[in-house]
Amino acid sequence: MGATLWALVLIAGSMTMPADAASQAPSVSPRVSAACTTSSSPVATTLASMPPGEATATPAPTVGASPTPDPSAVSGTRPRLGGRYVRIADSPFAPKAGVGVWTGQVAVISDALTGRTLAYDPARDRWERLARSPARIDLAWPVWTGDRMIVVGDLADDGGIETWAYTPATDSWNELTDGPLRGHLSSLAWQAGTLAARISPPPDDVGIIDADTFAILDEAGRCWRAIESPASMDAALLGVSGHIVGIAPRQAQILDPLTDTWSTPIATPVDIREPGLVVGDRVLFLPLASNEEGTGGWSFDPATLTWTAVAADCPVWTGYATAAGSLAVNDAFAFDTDTGTCYRLPRSPVRHRRDPLRLWLDDRLLVWSGNGGEESPEKRSGYVYLPPTANGIR
């Protein structure tokens, strides 16, 4: 459970390369199919021909005004958000590594390790078995494109990467690429019709794949094609507000999918090493504890290229939080990105479970399955958290 979430945590932990490291990056060996061609892109289709991004001059960051926080958020006596948890129907089975997306009508959830797939309809509180996926993927990353769920991840047996799609209209799975891709999936982002990935050397193949590579799934969806790398090779990819953003500790860049190139690097106001969480139209970074600069976190708006200091004291870490409307929530607290207020949530009935699946379903938060720790079986039960309508997110 929670493989997507913990994959993001691992990415953040790997962000150690300095901003000017692009000039020192090792050469990249081919790992994208030579058959991957497209007439719409001027970019070469093999990794051997792809240089790392140029380390251009980095402009000073634009820092916006911080929202005025609720005084109780700073003092430690945080206001209660209210709302309630409601238990939902038990699912037909308990997943081993569930990943899911919200389609607008149902939550489609697949057990990446076994292929078993379910749909949960919150309007009827009903589960339905769906077609079983042929893939057996570890550390899976799901995205919803508007008509299908794409699941990309490392194979559980041989360390390659596979790309599969589930189409609800036909209740069917199909593999999008011609075969496994060598490497390890470190980051994945979908936005405005573009699916981009950061592919890293697998631990057991050092020397075969020399450095991280960035790629886009080609228009026909048959293979991955390499694109120019951002200036910092350890950038994590996030899709937000019509943009795919690459954010490294000291800079952010925006991908232009029409030319497969990156914008001039935008400096970060501090060393950003937290996992990013997309909340509304911005990317939020909240630490486990206050950083050396004395601030709790930052948000980045790709539309205005603006950084804003947020949350001086709110125990919500974006490495273990879920976006729910304007909120970033964990088991006990919520940070409102619109007002800068830190709220205390109602007592969660699943607070002691490890790695439950969390999905925002337009007006409620699904919290399902998880386990009680080592040797504890996964659960078939779950809840939905219904926030108060007065908060403005329902």
| 391 band by pLDDT with thresholds 50, 70 and 90 | very low
What would the pLDDT profile of 75-134 be if each residue is shown by its tens digit? 457 899 989 999 999 999 888 778 999 999 999 999 988 899 999 999 999 999 999 998
| 324 band by pLDDT with thresholds 50, 70 and 90 | very high
Residue 117 confidence (pLDDT): 95
Tokens of 85: 């948890």
Average pLDDT over residues 247-259: 92
Measure CA of the first residue to CA of the last residue in the chain; give whole Å: 27
Residue 370 confidence (pLDDT): 81
Average pLDDT over residues 350-368: 88
What would the pLDDT profile of 288-306 be if each residue is shown by its tens digit? 864 444 457 899 999 999 9
Distance in angstroms (rounded) separating the CA atoms of residues 323 and 339: 15
| 375 band by pLDDT with thresholds 50, 70 and 90 | low
Where do the domains of the chain lie, and which CATH numbers do they carry?
Answer: 3-33+43-391 (2.130.10.10)
121-130 LR contacts (CB < 8 Å, sep 24+): 122/88, 122/361, 122/364, 122/366, 122/384, 125/88, 125/89, 126/89, 127/89, 127/91, 127/92, 129/92, 130/166, 130/168, 130/171
Average pLDDT over residues 242-250: 94
Q: In the predicted model, what is the mean pLDDT of the chain?
A: 77
102-110 LR contacts (CB < 8 Å, sep 24+): 102/144, 102/359, 102/360, 102/361, 102/362, 103/144, 103/149, 103/168, 104/362, 106/168, 107/359, 107/361, 107/366, 108/149, 108/166, 108/168, 109/357, 109/359, 109/368, 110/140, 110/142, 110/149, 110/151, 110/166
| 158 band by pLDDT with thresholds 50, 70 and 90 | low
Look at the block and give the residue holding tokens 């589930």. 166
Average pLDDT over residues 226-244: 91
